[in-house]
Amino acid sequence: MISAVRIASTRAARMTVVPRAVGATRSFAIGDALSNKEKVEEDRYIRAREAQIAESRARVAEAEAHAAELAAADKAKMAAKSATMQEIANLLATTGDVVSEAGLANLAALKHS
């Protein structure tokens, strides 16, 4: 009786360790789940990184546009000041008065402020 129990228990133990047939294999679903999770995490990282790059490019473009606006405004201001200085110099030339360049710049700045 003991030998029958021993044979049955060793057979049961052997069947859980050794596959039942040559073609029968156990699939470990955890490997598939982990690879799917890694893929999802990689995709999430890539999307986040692409969003960061797009945001930084947008900030650079905005800064360049702002710098171009400032440069255009500065150029327009300098052209207006130069025209005003020329106008003042022509008015003073008709009366025979002479003012230095610094004086003309101060008069033009006074007119544009």
At residue 112, does pLDDT exceed 60? yes
Contact 112, 82 (CB under 8 A): no
Residue range of the domain that includes 82: 2-112
Q: What is the pLDDT of residues 48-78, one digit of tens each?
A: 999 999 999 999 999 999 999 999 999 999 9
In terms of pLDDT, which residue wins out, 113 or 78?
Answer: 78
CA angle, residues 85, 68, 80, in degrees to nearest 5:
10
Query: Residue 109: pLDDT above 90?
Result: no
pTM of structure: 0.50
Query: How many domains, in total, are found in the chain?
Result: 1
| Per-residue model confidence as pLDDT tens digits over 17-46 | 555 555 555 566 677 778 888 899 999 999
User: Higher model confidence: residue 72 or residue 105?
Assistant: 72
According to the model, what pLDDT value does residue 57 have? Answer: 97
Q: Which residue has the higher pLDDT, 54 or 1?
A: 54
Q: 110 falls in which pLDDT band (50, 70, 90)? A: confident
Residues 6+ apart with CB under 8 A from 109: 81
Q: Provide the 8-state DSSP code for 22.
A: S
